[in-house]
Structure 1
Amino acid sequence: MPSTRTAAAKPKVGRPKTGTTQERHAQFLAQALELFMTEGVARTSIARIAATCGVSTRTIYERYSNKDALLIAALKHMVEQDVRAMTNLEQLADPSLATVLTHIGRLMLKKVLEPRMVSFFRIAISEVSHLPELARAVKEVGPERIYQMLANIFKTYADKGELPQLNFMRAAESYCELLIAGPRHKALFGVQEADWDAEAHIAFVVQLFLRGLHGMEQK
């Protein structure tokens, strides 16, 4: 008989027993992505994912042709959830663009600086040269979705006369770079200051960015 200690150490894995097929599949994708993020793409096999998620390798291959296809699907699922959270602005009464950008900035920065996401960025940097098609797919389902969402927001405010008409996609890319690049770089190399203030960083970026956009009206 196994000891109580051994039994308690076993992780709770496997296919969820309740919920719709769609909900069970969403949980499977989340579990698979967690493995990719914590153990690395190269070290995470289909067999490992199957064992952790409580499904057969045949079940996985019936839906996904290979590991890269599964990774892309898992990333896409995560990004779609994140985009929905970023655009869920119903609780903001008649929001200014600064309020919207602050709200989105908090969600983006929190996601980018999650320890598991930092680990995934490190893995991606080391493996991108071996998987160029994966890098392209990640760009399509990740940053480009966020850029398009922001570009649509900027156009909405420009159409109301609150922003100049400009290259909205380029503006979206610039906002994300201002917001994310520095903190992510420091997190990747473990050099983030202990007293770094995320809220102060977001407020500075939003103010700098909006002043820059409005300054373009003068030209």
Structure 2
Amino acid sequence: MSEPSPGRSVPASAGEEPRRGPGRPSISNEALLDKALELFLDHGFAGTSIDAITQSASMAKRTIYARYGDKASLFRAAVAHGLDRFKPTFDRLSALEADDMDETMDRIADAIVASVVSPDSIRLLRLIRSDAGAVPEIVGDFSDRTLDPVTAFLADLFRRRTALGQAAVEDSRLVAELFIDVIARGPCSKAAADLVFAPDYVERHTRFAVKLFLHGLMTIGDGPDGHSGARTELCG
């Protein structure tokens, strides 16, 4: 059976089991995605066949096609499954909030950076970069599942803290996007490129980036000594 051409969307829910007759037992969908993702990570999209996945998962090829239709859709589902493993969730980020703005942003920055520089997340990022040409939809999936939820949380946080007088943010979404760039882009890019850096680089980068972001732009009512208890002007 030849593999259908890429381009079909991933089913909204792949949890429903198709009817099957006698034969080998079917593993759970999560286990299938685990097996498929590991093969894709090791060999890429082009280097991984449905036959290899069926062998690894001990699953009939027709069952995989019944669930996903083609290899591209299975690839998207496997990548999405991988992204869901390490993305910071809204509830997790909310639990990191403190009364103090600096402490809040330090905690959130640590969670964001930890999620993007772990070995598993770096492997997944490399896979997305290398196979975006074959399955371009995974770029949007990456944004939808990781960047967009974190950006939305941060934008809401900046709006709430502005209302409390702890910040002065005019465009909360823009500031949220900039925060993610400042905090995560450097460590993530270095790790993805296998660049060697000092063991404390990530910690120093994160602490300095948060300090620069919150206090290095502009403060309202700075005195001649450079100190002020006024709120931080983040935008505008």
- What TM-score, normalized by structure 2, do the two folds share? 0.68
Greater share of helix: 1
For 2:195, give the aligned amino acid: V
How far has the Cα of 1:90 moved from its partner? 7.2
Match of 1:31 in 2: 35
**Contact 2:37 2:79 (8 Å CA) reproduced:** yes
Q: What's the CA shift string for 1:159-204, capped at 9, x where partnerless?
A: 3332224222211211111122112222233223234432222111
**Contact 1:86 1:107 (8 Å CA) reproduced:** no
**Contact 1:38 1:116 (8 Å CA) reproduced:** no
- Provide structure 1 residue ranges, at least 5 long, that are not aligned to the other structure: 1-19
Query: Bigger shift: 170-179 or 44-53?
Result: 44-53
- Provide structure 2 residue ranges, at least 5 long, that are not aligned to the other structure: 1-14, 18-26, 219-231
How far has the Cα of 1:205 moved from its partner? 1.4
**Counterpart mapping for 1:144-163 below 5 A:** 144-163=148-167
Match of 1:7 in 2: none
Confirm or deny that 1:131 pairs with 2:135.
yes
**Counterpart mapping for 1:94-113 below 5 A:** 94-113=98-117
- Structure 2 distance, partners of 1:35, 1:75, is 11
Match of 2:67 in 1: 63
1:94–1:141 distance in 2 versus 1, CA, 3 Å: closer
Match of 2:224 in 1: none
SS class of match (2:233)? helix
- Structure 1 distance, partners of 2:91, 2:123, is 26
Match of 1:215 in 2: 233
Query: Bigger shift: 119-128 or 56-65?
Result: 119-128
Match of 2:188 in 1: 184
1:171–1:91 distance in 2 versus 1, CA, 3 Å: closer
How many residues were matched structurally?
199
Q: What is the percentage of aligned positions where both structures have the same residue? A: 25
- Structure 1 distance, partners of 2:82, 2:127, is 17
How far has the Cα of 1:56 moved from its partner? 2.4
**Contact 1:37 1:117 (8 Å CA) reproduced:** no
Confirm or deny that 1:202 pairs with 2:206.
yes
1:178–1:93 distance in 2 versus 1, CA, 3 Å: closer
How far has the Cα of 1:152 moved from its partner? 2.4
**Contact 2:37 2:78 (8 Å CA) reproduced:** yes
Q: Which has the larger radius of gyration?
A: 2
SS class of match (2:197)? coil
Please, what is the CA RMSD of the aligned residues?
Answer: 3.2
Confirm or deny that 1:72 pairs with 2:90.
no
Match of 1:48 in 2: 52
SS class of match (2:188)? helix
Query: Bigger shift: 53-62 or 176-185?
Result: 53-62
- Structure 1 distance, partners of 2:30, 2:95, is 26
- What TM-score, normalized by structure 1, do the two folds share? 0.72
